[in-house]
Amino acid sequence: MESVRFPEHLLEPPLAGPTGLTLRLATAVDGETLRLNLYAHKTTIAFWRHFKQVLAWQEDGRAVWLLAEQGGRTVGCGELLIYPHGTELANIFVVAAHRGRGVGTTLLIALLRLARYLGETAVEIGVTPDNTRARRLYERLGFGEERTIQLPTGETAVILRRSL
Ligand SMILES: CC(C)(COP(=O)(O)OP(=O)(O)OC[C@H]1O[C@@H](n2cnc3c(N)ncnc32)[C@H](O)[C@@H]1OP(=O)(O)O)[C@@H](O)C(=O)NCCC(=O)NCCS
């Protein structure tokens, strides 16, 4: 099946976004850069399994893997995952040296737009209780607490939800 093509304006950063930041969908050639710069916390095997899976879903219109680039480098990424039971944002990561400049906000705004374009009416995002910075960012963009779940690791995560 052919990958979903989005109108270009949906991939334009908001006007107040960081200077020179561009957004695009990940492709098969981006794996190594993503693994080294943004998913270093995952094992190599787990990363490649995830990468193949999400790119296949993206081809089917069931996922979007969005990259933020600045000066020719990947500085952040985020995923939109559309499951039969609901839609979630996941793995919003910004390279440490580029945090606090609006990259995360830009990625989220664009992912929300893309979700709306795909016909979704609500999205969820999970955050661990200690990640107050990420939670503040999500709440600023209209997410509110929905429920608390227990992760396979035994940790808890708060699920935040936002209508589109
Ligand atoms: C959470 C995360 C994605 C946020 O990304 P980010 O690019 O730093 O996010 P933003 O820059 O858009 O917003 C973060 C802060 O910078 C501030 N900011 C944004 N643009 C700014 C600008 N131009 N000038 C000054 N401050 C700015 C925001 O107001 C916000 O402030 P706050 O933390 O006091 O609320 C990032 O910190 C990260 O990758 N963390 C590690 C991975 C992680 O925890 N991911 C989330 C998993 S749920």
Atom of ligand 1 nearest to the CA of 103: 7
Is position 111 within any domain?
A: yes
Number of domains making up the chain: 1
Residue 25: CATH number of its domain: 3.40.630.30
User: Residue 116 — left, alpha, or beta (φ > 0 → left; ψ -120 to 50 → alpha)?
Assistant: alpha
- pLDDT tens-digit series, residues 38-49: 999 999 999 999
Closest by Cα among 50, 3, 11, 57 to 31: 50
Both tokens assigned to 163: 């209508």
Is position 51 within any domain?
A: yes
Tell me how crowded residue 149 is: count the other CB atoms within 10 A of its CB: 11
Q: What pairs with residue 147 in β-bridges?
A: 159
Average pLDDT over residues 8-33: 94
Task: Specify the DSSP element, H or E, that contains 107.
Answer: helix 103-117
Is position 101 within any domain?
A: yes
| Ligand 1 pocket member 100 (CB < 6 A) | yes
Task: Specify the DSSP element, H or E, that contains 75.
Answer: strand 73-83
Residue 68 belongs to domain spanning: 10-120
Tell me how crowded residue 116 is: count the other CB atoms within 10 A of its CB: 13
- pLDDT tens-digit series, residues 71-125: 999 999 999 999 999 999 999 999 999 999 999 999 999 999 999 999 999 999 9
Q: What percent of the chain has pLDDT over 70?
A: 98
pTM of the model: 0.95
Q: Output DSSP code: residue 102.
A: S
Strand 86-94 to strand 63-70: parallel, antiparallel, or no bridges (unpaired)? unpaired
Both tokens assigned to 46: 């787990």
Is position 164 within any domain?
A: no
Q: What percent of the chain has pLDDT over 90?
A: 91
Atom of ligand 1 nearest to the CA of 94: 39
Residue nearest to atom 10 of ligand 1 (CA): 102
Is position 147 within any domain?
A: no
Contact between residue 5 and residue 117 where contact means Cβ atoms under 8 Å apart:
no
